[in-house]
Amino acid sequence: MPSQVLIAQEVSAEPSITAWLRFLRAHAAITRELSSRLEAVHELTLSDYDVLIQLYHAEGRRLRRIDLARSVLLTASGITRLLDGLESCGLVGKENCDSDRRVTYAVLTEAGVKKVEEARDSHLADIEELFGSRFSAQEREQLAELLGRLPLQHTTEACSA
């Protein structure tokens, strides 16, 4: 019954509400399937992969833990729990900042680099299958531009050491 209510609301809603509801449903369905595939093939959650790929592309393959939390949309306690699991698997390490003992970094290990490189191609293929293939090249460019208008929070400050 709840899905019928949402569908009824969508039909009578303003276009922005209709777009929002469709975006939410598509996001939930696609991320659920992407996560399922990553877990089945690479033993990673989508959140694990997001953290690993952020570190993989970061300068020195390391980020302040608080900046990493912001980039993957987690709280400080949420990123701690996630990183604890990745650390116990040997995929991520922890470093302290020499000039500010309050600052710690998450660092991608060699095992983490290997895991990212093993998972990346199949994950990108899954994204293309579940998302990208639904749109023409021009539509993908337009969608990227439109979604780029949405607010994002992302700031970084380096340790001065």
Q: Say how far apart CA 79 and CA 96 lie, in whole Å.
A: 16
Q: Is residue 8 included in any domain, yes or no? A: yes
CA atoms 55, 58, 64, 70: torsion sign: negative
Residue 142 lies in a domain: no
Give the residue numbers spanning the domain of 27: 2-132
* Per-residue pLDDT band at 39 (split at 50, 70, 90): very high
- The answer to whether position 149 is within a domain reads no
Please check whether residue 6 lies inside any domain of the structure.
yes
Domain of 90, CATH number, reads 1.10.10.10
pLDDT tier at 33 (50, 70, 90 boundaries)? Answer: very high
Q: Using DSSP, state whether 149 is helix, strand or coil.
A: coil
In Å, how far are 34, 104, 127 from 46, measured between CA atoms? 7, 23, 12
User: What pLDDT digit, counting tens, does each position of 70-126 carry?
Assistant: 999 888 899 999 999 999 999 999 999 888 888 999 999 999 999 999 999 999 999
CA separation for the pair 131, 128 (Å, rounded): 5
Number of domains in the chain: 1
Of 69, 52, 153, 160, residue with least CA distance to 111: 52
Q: What is the separation of C-alpha 61 from the centre of its chain, rounded to a whole number of angstroms? A: 16
Per the domain annotation, does 128 fall within a domain? yes
pLDDT of residue 155: 46
Is 146 among the domain residues?
Answer: no
In a domain, 101, yes or no: yes
